[in-house]
Structure 1
Amino acid sequence: MSDDEWWRDAPAKPVIRVEDGVRARSLRGEIARSWWSRRFLSVLESLGLSGRLDRGKRYARQGQVLSLSLSKSIVVGQVQGTRPEPYRVRIVARAFTDEQWEQVEQALAGQAVFLAKLLAGDMPDDIEAVFDGVGLRLFPDDRQDLSMDCTCPDWQVPCKHLAAACYLLAESFDTDPFEILAWRGRGRQELLDNLRGLRERSGPAPAEEREPPLSELLEEFWGPPTTPPAPVAQPAVAAPDALLDQLDALPVIVRGKPLVELLRPAYRAMVEESE
């Protein structure tokens, strides 16, 4: 056995367990819940990484990831493995340029439903079509758009440390879909501010919705009076004792008169006192 093959028969070292690491919320089955986080994982699988991703699912659920943070186009984290010093992982997506984002924002602002859903914190189902329409891909779909590296000695990409970070990244996308857009170079507040500004500058309202100028209103004010609308007939006021006529006749006779007739003066008197 050559010196460079010693590791093949070397016993596997136990993983150093972490007590307060970042732990996946899902304990079994699929980790991704929303369509956009599932889409992110499916893109990774389409790049031939599905078999390697599963290696990190246990790490993600055990809480071996010490930290994970996302900024413009890059995700960095630390994952505890078999060595005392945690491994550093990095997942990089190519950020779109400002000019490319301007095209995307113009397309998004042109459809109110997209703006409404984004303001509500939801990812529109067909938002990928908007990016496709300007020649872009929201999710990295080739190795030129996506790169990963880890400080561990494993030559495979992704290693289980990177795979664990990918699963936790998918869960973070579940919680906040805007992180996907930030990963591509546009943060939540900047995007929403730009979309609001585009909507406000989209031009005057249609002619039928615009208010007439003040000069036209003044001409109408000093013009001849218009014919007032015909008065609306007011409904007749019911007699105070009309309710008694709607009741079934009471089979009660008092001093030779039906009880209903004796009650009528009382109903009329109550109305007069209230007036």
Structure 2
Amino acid sequence: MSIQLRSRRGPIGVGWHAVALRRAIESLLGGSRASGGRADARAGRVAWIDVTRGAARGAVQDSDGELYRPQLDLTPYSAPDREAFLAVARAHPELPARMAAGEYPQLVEKELSAHEVSLLPRGPSELSHDCSCLDWPGPCRHVAALAYVLVEAVDEKPLTLLTLRGLRLEDLVAPAAGTSARSAPSPPHDATPAAPPPGAGDNTPSPEDPTGDSIGTGGSAGTADSTGGTVGNQGEDSGSVDGSAHPSPGFDPSRADPSLLAAVLGEHAAALIAAFYQQGSQDDEPPHPLR
């Protein structure tokens, strides 16, 4: 049993994030080791790969038939880098679904660069390696073969980068502590009847009712809950008189079929994402106008 690369010739990696990872790794490997590792990876010599926090491990069979255990390490986020990444990620509530679908938007990396943070290796200094073979100090061709398998894994599933950096998919959809506007209780409405009785024209509510001022704004300024801004952008016509919302032509996570994500993420994570966006959609629905 071995891993077969999809790439049979030329550079390995198609997506921009996979290409960036490959280039960072190749700057560590050097030309000859990169060439040997690429040949071993395409020959199916990598038996398996396991990605955990900060490390990718595997088994590579050498030409002599012996099995070696290479390891490639990527430094996990420090606490400040983790918070910077999550702040940017939560400003893009569509990011978990896009990453689950095999995309990692370059816009997110551009915004992270302002905080001097990257989900990808920023250079060879963030990478280290080890192997059970005697090719010291390396990196050996077994590490190189493992690296190319990792590049294709990241190309297909960018969530692998989250794992290496010490993050989980749930971290991207969980609201920051104390900053979620959705968790705040609604102001009391007992001073105004929900629906005036027929013929009671004297009880018409004032158009300057303070409880209605913030409903149509799509999220107040200064909130750290990243889900408000995007939902507001998708529903620019949500303040129509009849309370109806016209569908946005863009991606709408609240209408996504959880079964489409389950094959990539598993049922638990897919259900978590679906519940998060569906709840957000319900919270953002404008109230029925008073008549």
**Aligned position for 1:216:** 192
**Aligned position for 2:85:** 104
1:170 aligns to 2:151 (yes or no): yes
Distance, in Å, in 1 between the alignment partners of 2:46 and 2:101 is 30
Aligned-pair CA distance for 1:85: 3.3
Distance, in Å, in 2 between the alignment partners of 1:181 and 1:136 is 13
1:167-205, Cα deviation, whole Å (9 max, x unpaired): 1001101221000111111122x32342xx249943269
Q: Which one has the largest radius of gyration? A: 1
1:195-219, Cα deviation, whole Å (9 max, x unpaired): xx249943269xxxx9993422359
Amino acid in the other structure paired with 1:23 = Q
1:90 aligns to 2:66 (yes or no): no
Relative to structure 1, the CA distance from residue 213 to residue 96 in structure 2 (aligned partners, 3 Å threshold; closer, same or farther) is same
Q: Give secondary structure in 1 for the equivalent of 2:202.
A: coil
Relative to structure 1, the CA distance from residue 118 to residue 32 in structure 2 (aligned partners, 3 Å threshold; closer, same or farther) is closer
Q: Give secondary structure in 2 for the equivalent of 1:144.
A: helix
Q: CA RMSD in A?
A: 3.0
1:132-179, Cα deviation, whole Å (9 max, x unpaired): 222223222333311012222223633211111111001101221000
Paired residue total = 200
Relative to structure 1, the CA distance from residue 29 to residue 120 in structure 2 (aligned partners, 3 Å threshold; closer, same or farther) is closer
Q: Determine if contact 1:53/1:158 at 8 Å carries over to the other structure.
A: no
| Candidates 128, 135, 139, aligned match of 2:120 | 139
Which TM-score applies when normalising by structure 1? 0.62
Relative to structure 1, the CA distance from residue 204 to residue 171 in structure 2 (aligned partners, 3 Å threshold; closer, same or farther) is closer
Relative to structure 1, the CA distance from residue 117 to residue 125 in structure 2 (aligned partners, 3 Å threshold; closer, same or farther) is same
Q: Determine if contact 2:89/2:172 at 8 Å carries over to the other structure.
A: no
Distance, in Å, in 1 between the alignment partners of 2:112 and 2:53 is 18
Amino acid in the other structure paired with 1:54 = S
Distance, in Å, in 2 between the alignment partners of 1:167 and 1:91 is 11
Q: Determine if contact 1:150/1:162 at 8 Å carries over to the other structure.
A: yes
Amino acid in the other structure paired with 1:125 = Q
Which TM-score applies when normalising by structure 2? 0.59
| Candidates 203, 211, 222, aligned match of 2:181 | 203
| Candidates 62, 74, 82, aligned match of 1:81 | 62
Q: Determine if contact 1:179/1:187 at 8 Å carries over to the other structure.
A: no
| Candidates 54, 70, 81, aligned match of 2:51 | 70
Among all aligned residue pairs of Structure 1 and Structure 2, give the percentage whose two residues are the same amino acid. 28
Distance, in Å, in 1 between the alignment partners of 2:195 and 2:163 is 54
Distance, in Å, in 2 between the alignment partners of 1:48 and 1:78 is 18
1:61 aligns to 2:61 (yes or no): no
**Aligned position for 2:281:** none
Amino acid in the other structure paired with 2:128 = S
